[in-house]
Structure 1
Amino acid sequence: MNTYVNFFIVSFLTFLIWNTWSFLGHFQIHKFKLSFKTISADITLPNEDLFEKYIDEIIYIFQHSKKHILILEDIDRFEKIDIFQKLRELNIKLNINSKSKKQWKFIYLIKDDIFDSVVSDKALTRVKFFDLIIPVIPFVTRSNSYMKIEDLFKNQNISPRLVDILSNYIDDYRLLLNIKNEFTVFFNRLEIKDTDKLFALISYKNIYPDQFDELQNGEGVMGTFSLEFKKESNIKKENIVADIKRLKQSYKQNMANSEDELLALEMFRSGYKGYSFNNVISYKNTSSSFNLLYSEDSNDTQVQKINEFMETDYFQKKLALATDEAHYYEQLNDLGEQLENIDSERWQSISRDEWGTMTKSSDNVQKMNEEGHNLLFSLISNGFIDEHYLEVVNKYYGNINNLTFKRNLFEKQNDVDFNLSLSDIERLSSTLYKQDFDEYAILNFSLFKYYLETNQTSILLQMIDTSQKTESGFLENYLDLNPTDFAKIRKISLDKLCLSISHIKTTNILMQTIMTHSFPDTEQNVIDATTFIVEHDILNEVLEEILKSDAYISLKEQLISKSNKKYDVSDDFIPDVIRLFFKYDKIVGNVENFNKYVEMMDLNEPSFKFDNLLAQYFNKHYEDISLGLTDKEIFDSMLKSSLITDEACRRSFNQYKKHGLPSYDSSIINETESNSKVNVLLELGLMQFDNDVLEYINENNNSLINYYKFDFLISELVKTKYENSKIDLQTINQISDFPDLESFVIVSRNLNQYGSEKEKIISLLLKFTDMFDDARKVIKILENKKGAFQSHLSNNEAILNILTYLKDTNFVSDFQLVDDKYFTVKK
């Protein structure tokens, strides 16, 4: 501890001596007084003799310190080398008077440029003055300060670009540490979120502290630049507004339907009032010269031939403007975009030349070195210092909510409180730029309400667009709180509101949104709207109102599918809604609703045909519908449609039969897509018997007797010969069980189905022997019994059919008719 104290005393005394000497050097002191308790002395000496006067006391202090090394730091800040001469003299005297073997060593920590003030050889003076010079490798230089800055601010999310810029201007570690300390103070006190902007300003403050005070007060170079930037923007805007005015005026004055009309108009303005329109046109291709006023920049009269005048750019531009409305609006829109671009210009867009021009009028530019001027421009052109720089480092004493709002806006925050209550909104609004309204953070209920009440349409449209573009839910939440503003906002947005249903929280706004189509017809929005209605248990309350409105059909479908209510077909609902009722089985099942649907959908033009929805509805409610269904065309469609189930068809044709509707002929067989429906007709006895029906039954391995009554079947089979069809064997066998003339004829016609199976033929004919002796004779022929071939067989259809069969199967070689009375057979 003593060693430390002694070293401190020596250092302090040395520093005191030098400062005293330097201080006194500014005054001409010839007399001063020292007083120690009761002892006092008056000293009258020249200033340069003071050090010599007290050299002994100084040596005494050094010798009693019991030290031998004195380290001197930062002496070069005084920018004079006289101090080194005195200290060297002191060093020599200490060593001369030292009683110790150790010699006093003075170590100086200085910059090389301290000897710049020496007029003579600087290098030689430097090496002669010191016994030993040891170079020190700098800890921080402009080449490595990037890494030091990065390390110190690694937790602050500073932009690498900003670190790169500032590293070119920071070459002192102490300066860097102070920047870090001040940054921390400002950051914690002001709760700044945009660390880049804060770091840029704090660094500039430390590098050029004299400029920062003026910058902080909106003065100096920055103040001048800010004023000039606004002035330049206003001039640009005024010029464009003037161009727009001239364009509109020119368009209004020069409207013409043709080139000739415009030419006539130009001639009239040039003083040729005595000429009619036709006169002007007739001179168009002459070589005559006219005095025409056509200079865009002046009203000077120029002599020009008409045909030459028509080729000038002036006339061609006017012609395009006068006769082409699209050209006019294209120019007008282009100027409008230019005007908007000026409002959107930021400091960051400034060019080097513009920066120099705008700041040259500032007195502070003269005080600022070129390096400082360049640093400021670099920070501005890279966006690290912008129009809102005063808000970054100055504490705000107004409404804290206003400050929070502005900081969120400047820092482009995406997590803000829409309901932040703002005050003095008129003044706050005056500080906002046009481009601010494209930022998410601009969305605030108080601000939006203010613009709505003051009818600032263009700003409102921009805020509405920002809300919808960012899908923030701002508009939806605002309307939930201010439902009476819905109509006004919708009108301002030109009926193009695109609200997100998921952000809506009240039934009132939901219904207004639905009824006015103020939301995109997306699957997610429809699901969200349906979920809201169902979860708030208002489906039955709002469904009919929505269904009868022009709300999106996609939403109507979702709501219908969730409803438990059933409706009657009514003109209160559009056809698309009726279809949805049928699709989701929300229609009461009866023939009246069935017929209304058919009429509404024109399903009976030109002939009735089931569509999918009606078929689906019919399959579910056929019991109720078929009770009153009498239109045969609908029943015809039922048979022809693959959409109607067999069960629905069967039950419906039961009613058809009860209504006494006519049977179907065999043509229906080829028109139906399903054999099962034909079978329904057969089973119900609704199919007229003919050759095609017999063939259909036979092809489907069915028995005629299953579908037709025995007496009817016998009568029909006898009445008509079915030469192309075969009666199934089951039917033949059953018919032969009731032997009579008719059944004998039917059996005879179908013997060929048994082939050459003699035993089966004999068995079949035995059933008829009691009634017909001819049957017994045929059996004898088949059995080849004695005298069988001398038999006489009756001349009738049955025997003819049997004999033909026997000949075809080679049971007999031939047969013949004798006297038209009987047949004889040859073996």
Structure 2
Amino acid sequence: MGSWKGRWKRWVVCSLEKIIGKLKDPPVTPLYDDLTPNDDIDKDGIYARAIRSGLENEKVQNIAITGPYGSGKSSILKTFEKNHKQTYHFLNISLATFGSKINIPSGNNEVGGGLEDERALEKSILQQMIYRVRDRTIPFSRFRKIKHMKSRQTIQQLFLFLAFIAGAIYFFVPNLFGTLYENTVLNQSEETLSLMGSILLLFFISVYGFFLLKQMYRFLRGNFNFNKVTIANASLEMDKTNFDNSIFDRFIDEILYFFQATKYDVVLFEDLDRFDSLDIFERLRELNALINNSELVKRRVVFIYAIKDDIFGQIDTVEHSRNRTKFFDFIIPVIPILHASNSVEVLHDRLIESPYIDDIDPNFLQDVSLYVDDMRILKNIYTEFDIYKKKLGGDLELDTNKLLGLIIYKNLYPADFSQLQYSRGLVYQMMKQKDTIIEQQLTVLDDRIKQMEEKIEATKEEQLISIEELQQIYLLGLNARTGSYNQYIRINSTNFGNNATITASFFEQLKNAQHVSYNIGNGNKTGTIDEIATVFGSKDNYFERETSIELKKEDKLEALKQQISQLKREKTEVYDLSLKELIAKSDTEVFPAELLKKDLLVYLLRHGYIDDTYHHYISYFYPGSLTKRDMDFILSVKNYKARDFSYSLQHVEKIISRLRISEFKQSEILNFDLVDFILEKNQYQELFKVILDQLTNEKDTSFQFITGFKERTVHKQSFIKALCRNWDNIWVYIEEASNLSDEEIQVFLADILLFADVADIEELNKEDKLSAYLADLEDYLKVAEDLPSVKEQAILSRILVKFTNTAHLRPKEELFNYVVEKNLYQINKQTLSDILQGKVSNLTYSAIVDANVENVLAYIDQNINVFVSEVLLGQEISQETEDEIIELLNRNDLYKSLKERIIDQQALQIQDITEVDQELWKVLLEKDKLTTSWHNVFHYFKVRQTFDETMVDYLNDPYHASELAKYRLADEDAMEKEDRHMLSEEIMKSEEIKNASFEKLAASITKWNFYTTNGLPEARVRIMIKNKVLSLTVENYEDIKANHPELHLFLIEENIERFVNHQDDYALNLEEIDALFHSDVLDTYKKNLVKQIDPVILSESDEALDFAVEVAEFIVYQGMEAGAALTDALFAFDITKKCKIRLLTSQVKTLEQDKITELLKALGPPYADITEGGKRPTILNNDLNKALLSELDRNNYISQFKPEEKRLRVFTYMR
């Protein structure tokens, strides 16, 4: 009893609480759009009129509502149903499936899985029909349903059933209860009461019995099927084919009964197109026809299908178009409400009324909407976005764009989003990929650094200094390969080579070649640029060497080194890059292959809308001891979203505990409060080192932080000190890259000098840039105003500041004296003029020596090179004497380059080369700063034992050659004879001395009785002969004859007088005599030559006839005495008689009588008759004969001769 009361009280309390709760909560206006079809979209009623047109048309039984997925087909049907539920009775059948799409094969021959799927589909349709109505509407349906029965109904039914059983027993077997009845109070009732009770009992038994029989009939009819009936020997069996093939065929009677028992006249089918089955449409069309043709269903039933346009095939064919119109009696198209092209406007309309619209990037909205083309998804995106934003955004300042991106990702890829929360899936895989991408980026940077270092190394090893030299070497190699006929290199359509020289322009065309081929003797082959550039593998690549030379020539090595430094800095910065930045620096291979198939994910990751801060957007933040500002700062660091350096923080220590060490490498960590706190606490020195590493990365952001922080921190001294210790390039950055004004630079410099350790300042002086800045700083005293003198002097000495001017230091006398004493000034005209003012009139070396300022003179002597280059060279050099110049030139500590400049700039000529250091002799010659003399030439030669290019150029100079020609080496008494000979010999042997110069010099060099001409050019020997360098001696004659056969006679011609006087010493053949005879020597010498002709030579030669004639005529012409032997020899030749007569005429006076007789006889008759005494022969009267007879008469060989008509009569003596 107590338990029943307790339950009663609890029921009353619960009921009251429900009533109070409903009173407290007013009706809620929907905040979000539901995802169900909208029943209020057909504003203009066009779709409704179209549907009704089909429904009112008696011939139309199957209507299709077509449109793409999400176009609003269901919403149109819901709207129509809502507006016409009084006119039509609608039966809704939806076949939505949320798994993979079911593909049911079409055609009657398919078996197996396809048939089972089709049965399942038909079963689903049938179930939705049957379970739509109550049992009492279709009481004779064989489909049984589970019916809920309350306890009161169960007790009531049980009571009636027991009463029925008891009443039946009592009514039909009254004695059964007789014994019991007698002992009861009822036994004492009156008879009338008993009769009425019996009647009532009979009525109850009859009614309830009828009710039981009815229920039993329904049960048997709905649950028992007679598949086979056997009577005697015969049996009837139902056809089971339809049971196996189709649910519709098996239960067609149920379907007809359903429509017979109900009022439905419009059946709405949705989502049939999900199954890609055409058979179901055939069956539904058949089913529709059966229903409409059945006499049991006495009304028209219309099927309306909501399907997509391409249900009959995704490829447009005539057959598909016909099927589409064949299946349906009426088709209504639906224009999609949402598409990728307009989804941005729809989403924007949803967001514009929200408080988030200003935080969303319109470009992001524009881009991401391209991936959303379904209204339901779009509605849900906004709903989830709004809920997430309200739940998470109140505690944290989340990036609205990132949150929206994640919600879109959640809706389009829900499975992967679910896996992400368990650190799985594609997005999480991409998060893990970050370390791999970093390694790839580092590899790329390392490769670039290696390439540049190899370029630098190659440049250092390259020996050549000009592109022209390089081209000559390679062209020589290429021309050697293509020098023969039909051998060539073809670049594009141009042939190079083919027996023609390849020129320098070849390489420019090769660099830009599209096609390369060649034929170098083994047929035409397709080649590569690299093959040609390496001369077919025999040399290093031409273009690589060209690059090395250009780097060296244009002094680009320093730029390369700076690029390497920059790449090394980039390596340290790679770890700070966000995933978005890393992806931007990489190609698509960084994405997993499966992720690449998902365009939206690629977009969100590539643009940073999904990154490694995703967990803040999908889980709660529970505020504790951290303030909201503190947590926002932490989140900004993790989101790579920088805040202002001055963003105030409260619980810095707790903030530090929530950050990873790697996050202290990010620029977003830079915060004045945070760094100040870390500086103050010794336990965070490791973190401070990490921050320092970032502050020294030479990025603009880092330096902006430094300049701001140092002016507001209370730990300025320790900060500057630590900064300078860890960043040895700080001054270079401040001066060259910081973009600070001059005043700001000087303020920063003052802090460095004041707070940094001297040792660290020394390290900052990279490439002497700090010392150079201080040396040029006119406001130095202002910068060093607060600097203690001891530290100041230590700094100046340690980094060796060399002030370019000392005048501005004079106000601080202690400093000025220290600078002069420690030589902390540059040697230049300004400093020396200031320090030596009043002590010198000019700044020549001799003047400074005379000033006798010891420390200054010692400083100059120690830095003589600086003094010469900065002070002496220029106007001062013109005031120095030869002795002072020679002294400077002979200083071992003076750079040779400066000595060369002294030589070049001074106007004097050194008289004696031996007074100057030998290493400068070459320069003296090149700059023409030597007096031209054989003394200087000899000593230069004596040191080198040969004529180098410089001496050759000197001697080839016309002026020098002419000057030297004025003096004979033989007159150089200071030179030994051997030295004169040695110098002369070198001049004669030097092929580099031009003949024009040698011809002048030959007049001065020594003479040689013998000098072998073997190896000397003929032109050189000719000059030597002409200038009497080679005397006419038998030795020289024989040597020249052997080595230069064309010149031995020239030697005779140039020394003809000596030759004539000593002709017997020289054996000449007929050819040589002939050559001399025809030379340009004087006839006087030719006479002697003819006289000396050996008759034997003439007699032994068979080819001397022409020469004999010429000699004979020369003798006659010169009237010279030839002698009997030569005359006999000439008469022996078959020369003309006239020639012999003239020869004889010229020689009569020199010949004996007997020899005349012999020669006349040799002339033959009539001349031979003159020799016979007593005869008076006659000869032809002409001038020739008259001359002969006159000479014979004059020499008493004949007595006389007289002319007789045309002849001459000769009177001889008696013999």
The question of a shared fold, defined as TM-score above 0.5 by the shorter chain, is answered with: no
Pick 1 or 2: higher relative contact order, CA cutoff 8 A, min separation 6: 2
Name the larger-Rg structure: 2
Which category describes the TM-score, using the shorter chain as reference length? 0.3 to 0.5
